Amino acid sequence: MSEPELDLTDGGRPARPSWVIAELADLVTVIRGHAIILESVLPPNDEHRADLTALIAAAERAAAITSRLVAEARAGLGPPPS
């Protein structure tokens, strides 16, 4: 399975960093959500539970970091151009 091509443009123009950060935040949310669902159906003594717990913890850390980055990017944008 090939990786989808990542489009870092907005209509042919380079994307704003805030857009890229928000897109990353969305992806982290999906990964975390799927991991939590999988954790809920995994038997308590499954051999992969520790790996899944580590994945959820990493996704939560990534979510916190991207949330901070989104806030910083928005603060740095200033008012929209008129």
pLDDT, averaged in runs of 10, over the chain (82 residues): 60 66 89 94 93 95 89 68 55
Sorted by where each begins, the domain ranges of the chain are 15-76
**Residue 23: per-residue pLDDT:** 86
Q: How far is CA 30 from the centre of its chain?
A: 7
pLDDT for the residue 32: 94
Which pLDDT does position 82 carry in this prediction?
54
What are the φ and ψ backbone dihedral angles of 19, each rounded to 5 degrees?
Answer: -65, -45
Burial of 29 per CB tally in 10 Å (0-12, 13-18, 19+):
middle
Decide: pTM greater than 0.75: no
**pLDDT (0 to 100) of residue 77:** 61
